[in-house]
A = this chain, B = another copy of it.
Amino acid sequence: MSKLTDVPKRILIGRALRSDRLGETLLPKRVALPVFASDPLSSVAYAPGEVLLVLSIAGLSAYHFSPWIAVAVVVLMFTVVASYRQNVHAYPSGGGDYEVATTNLGPKAGLTVASALLVDYVLTVAVSISSGIENLGSAIPFVVENKVACAIGVIVLLTLMNLRGVRESGTLFAIPTYVFVAGVFLMIAWGAFRGVVLGDDMRAPTADFEIKPEHPGLAGFALVFLLLRAFSSGCAALTGVEAISNGVPGFRKPKSRNAATTLALMGLLAVTMFCGIIALAAATDVRMAENPAKDLVHDGVPLGPDYVQDPVISQVAEAVFGHGSFLFVVLAAATALVLFLAANTAYNGFPLLGAILAQDRYLPRQLHTRGDRLAFSNGIVLLAGAAALLVVIYGADSTRLIQLYIVGVFVSFTLSQTGMVRHWNRLLAVEKDPAARRHMIRSRAINAFGAFFTGLVLVVVLLTKFTHGAWVALLGMCIFYATMTAIRRHYDRVAEEIAAPDTPSEDTVRPSRVHSVVLISKVHRPTLRALAYAKLLRSDTLEALSVNVDADETKALREEWERRGIDVPLKVLDSPYREVTRPVIEYVKSLRAQSPRDVVSVIIPEYVVGHWYEHLLHNQSALRLKGRLLFTPGVMVTSVPYQLESSEAAKLRARRRQDWAAPGSARRGPAERAKETPPRT
């Protein structure tokens, strides 16, 4: 049993696990739900508000369309959930939309999905943190007064946490997510009870405001366009639904079935919360406007630039629970926390997707290695930097950021569902069993409807949001796409260049002999060790090579060589300019020129030190020489390390670093799945 003092730590970061025990951390449904659903569930904190905000453009009268928009979002949510339940069963390997699109629609579609998802991760961080700050600000005014600074602070905090490798733990996610869900349900139930049974007149803090419509009396096509725009904003509730399809390997068995159940549960919770909040907002007369300073009017006077518009969820909570009440504060805190956790999922998803893309050589290979701290760090810093940039540019205003958001998600939805239709078509072409065929035809119908509906929404989103900011997201996708294509092209070109020929060519002609050259500066333990090792290798010739940069030192070296009777010939190169690199390179080249088919093996004694500043004091000429030798053909360069006492420190540091947990390891599932991955086409 762990000690009592360990409990808070265990709650915060979960049980510490060595990475070779990672296989044991399979997620039960009750933990998987909060881990994967914090992103989609948290979006009900801002999606309803966005709907009202857009509607307000046509004035208060347009608010009565909000239930219809809610219905449309619910239908879409069920469609998407139903579609992804098919994905989860068909592709249990966790490749998600990228895998589905690549396998069924080809690498370009796959890369498009990947670019869209990468952009989406950046936006998840920016939107969730901005919205979290706004929710926290409804309880703590200081936070909203210093919105950008606080948002950047949270980004920095999450970045540091993830760089240090805080292990993702189910508990960390479970508590705030369940508190949030329970709080919202309690609010809906208590609000319904007060309104319907007690007949209380609950009023939101903005209930007395009037809305000055920007386009009063909108009708016909313009009104339809506005309703579509409001619907697009409401679709923010769907972001993150695809996360579960990336996380199937992390579930307990039966993986696919558990994942599908979790998906259904998540959909149900999300729509109930979304509709409940929309209904409560209508019942408590919440008033929101796109430009509250100008368009919200109180007693005939516009509210002015100092007015801060609280999110719908906190206005409703205020109306139901009362301003400053305990439950109001708890819900605000839980909402903010869930939104920050949602941002954290992007920190986990980004390297996960990066690893899969690296496997297909669209990103540097080292991203594929689990636990390559440096590679992950670069990815995390890239993600955080891009999100911070957006937060600063858009003033941590969730409403403005959401305009950029949904494009990526729906690009990925649409391509993935289209891919699923192809998937079923391919299977149906060979499947004979009538029961299986029926099942497949049903699945295909669901996916086809999903593809059609999400495609339609994508078009609507693009049409209604392009000028409002969606173009930024598209630009980001293009940049990712171009970069990844270039990296893949580079790898392909190199692979072609280095491909082993089937027929023996000049490359495979055996080199005939090897000349070994040990570089010597002084006679000391490292050089003696290097000489001893070099002798073991039994090359055709062996000589010691020194560069005369100081006549006295060279003389001392020759004498010491004689005195000790070292049985390796010592050759000294002249270097009037005290250079080391050039004479050695030229000597090696001259050896090669004498006998071009021979190989020169250059053996360099090297000190191993423990601190970076010590490194500045040693090995610099050796490093430079090695760098230059690598460009010389027909050479092999050998380091014979001599570990100084201080190197122990570095050894410990390296060992600690290796036990580091990469972000996203929990949802990546056990490592064995690498073997289950079906080969890509």
Contact = CB atoms under 8 A, between A and B. Distances in A.
A156 to B, nearest CB: 25
6 A-B pairs with least C-beta separation? A630-B641, A366-B620, A638-B638, A498-B524, A514-B536, A576-B671
A642 to B, nearest CB: 7
B490 A617 contact: yes
Contacts of A650: 631
A280 B153 CA distance: 63
B537 A514 contact: yes
A654 B628 contact: yes
A20 interface: yes
Given A369-B549, A370-B578, A635-B641, A513 B536 contact: yes
Contact of A528 (B507, B536, B614, B647): B507
Interface string A532-566: 11011111000000000111100000000000100
A375 interface: yes
A364 B616 contact: yes
A499 interface: yes
11 contacts: A364-B620, A368-B578, A371-B577, A494-B644, A497-B644, A537-B537, A538-B538, A582-B658, A606-B630, A608-B631, A636-B641
A658 B364 contact: no
Contact of A672 (B20, B22, B501, B576): B576
A500 B514 contact: no
Given A539-B537, A636-B640, A671-B576, A549 B508 contact: no
B674 A551 contact: yes
A678 to B, nearest CB: 9
A364 B613 CA distance: 10
B643 A633 contact: yes
Interface residues of A, number: 99
A466 interface: no
A393 interface: no
A651 interface: yes
A637 interface: yes
A178 interface: no
Given A507-B528, A537-B514, A654-B628, A638 B641 contact: no
A630 B647 CA distance: 10
A490 B613 CA distance: 11
A614 B495 CA distance: 13
Contact of A636 (B550, B631, B639): B639
Contacts of A532: 508, 510-511
Given A630-B639, A631-B651, A576 B23 contact: yes
Given A369-B580, A500-B528, 16 more contacts: A359-B550, A370-B579, A371-B579, A487-B617, A500-B527, A511-B532, A537-B538, A537-B601, A538-B538, A576-B671, A603-B636, A608-B630, A630-B639, A631-B654, A632-B641, A637-B641
B549 A533 contact: no
A365 interface: yes
A434 interface: no
A170 interface: no
Given A528-B508, A536-B511, A536-B514, A577 B607 contact: no
A269 to B, nearest CB: 34
B647 A631 contact: yes
A599 B533 contact: yes
Contact of A671 (B359, B494, B499, B578): B578
Contacts of A525: 497-501, 507
Copies of this chain per assembly:
2
A78 interface: no
A626 interface: yes
Interface string A557-594: 00000001000000000001111111000000000000
A297 to B, nearest CB: 50
Nearest to A508: B528
Given A499-B524, A578-B370, A658-B581, A490 B631 contact: no
B370 A674 contact: no
A529 interface: yes
A453 interface: no
Nearest to A658: B582
Contacts of A20: 576-577
A675 interface: yes
A523 interface: yes
Contacts of A529: 507
A491 interface: yes
A533 B511 contact: yes
A526 interface: yes
Interface string A351-388: 00000000100001110111110110000000000000
Which of A495, A527, A628 gathers most chain B CB within 10 Å?
Answer: A628
Contacts of A637: 638-639, 641
A614 B23 contact: no
A151 B643 CA distance: 47
Contacts of A103: none
Contacts of A606: 630
Given A626-B639, A641-B631, A549 B599 contact: no
A53 to B, nearest CB: 43
B620 A375 contact: yes
Interface string A298-337: 0000000000000000000000000000000000000000
A6 interface: no
A85 to B, nearest CB: 29
Nearest to A530: B636
A607 B630 CA distance: 9
Contact of A533 (B514, B603, B608, B630): B514
Contacts of A671: 576-578
Nearest to A512: B536
A365 B617 contact: yes
A25 interface: no
A528 B501 CA distance: 10
A205 to B, nearest CB: 51
Contacts of A578: 368-370, 671, 674
A19 interface: yes
